Amino acid sequence: MIKALFLSKKFQTLSFLFMILLTTACQFNPINQGKDFKNLKKSIKNQLIFPISELSKISFTQNEESFFQHALENNFTQQPGNLKLNWGTLIVVPTKTFINKQGVHCREYKSTYIQKSSQVSINALACRLENHQWLRIQ
């Protein structure tokens, strides 16, 4: 009788842990928004610099993307990061920092590209992956 009660409690505990595991695994992740996460990470459209590149019609390098990554990871909210280039200046300003419902760190940011005769700005949202890489959310 005592052995049967012990096994019953052990089974209840295992069942409870299994239910927690299933619930956690099935939660909606806002980063992949129902898409295959591996493919999303590889997409150039999820790079932080992509919207500025599209608007300014300039191809930026991995160095400029790294600048954006560094600014979102290290700058305070409203602290601009400036990168002077031969053909203009890139500015990124984190404007809001928060943790979403799934516990993921996210930042809204404003990015600006300034040339001698023009300026392009865009607001965007990025969330940080477990490896501290920031991924722009479309």
Annotated domain spans of the chain: 36-137
Band the pLDDT of 20: cuts 50, 70, 90.
very low
Percent of the chain at pLDDT exceeding 70: 68
Per-residue pLDDT, 50: 87
Residues with Cβ within 8 Å of 119's Cβ and at least 6 positions away in sequence, in order, are: 112, 113
Residue 16 in this model has a pLDDT that exceeds 90: no
Per-residue pLDDT, 52: 85
Which residue in this structure is represented by tokens 């209840």?
A: 12
Q: Rounded to the nearest 5°, which phi and psi values hold at 67?
A: -60, -45
Model confidence pTM above 0.75:
no
Band the pLDDT of 41: cuts 50, 70, 90.
low
- 69-112 confidence digits (pLDDT tens): 999 999 999 999 999 999 999 999 999 999 999 999 999 999 99
Q: In what order do the strands lie in the sheet with 81-85?
A: 81-85, 88-99, 105-114, 119-128, 134-137
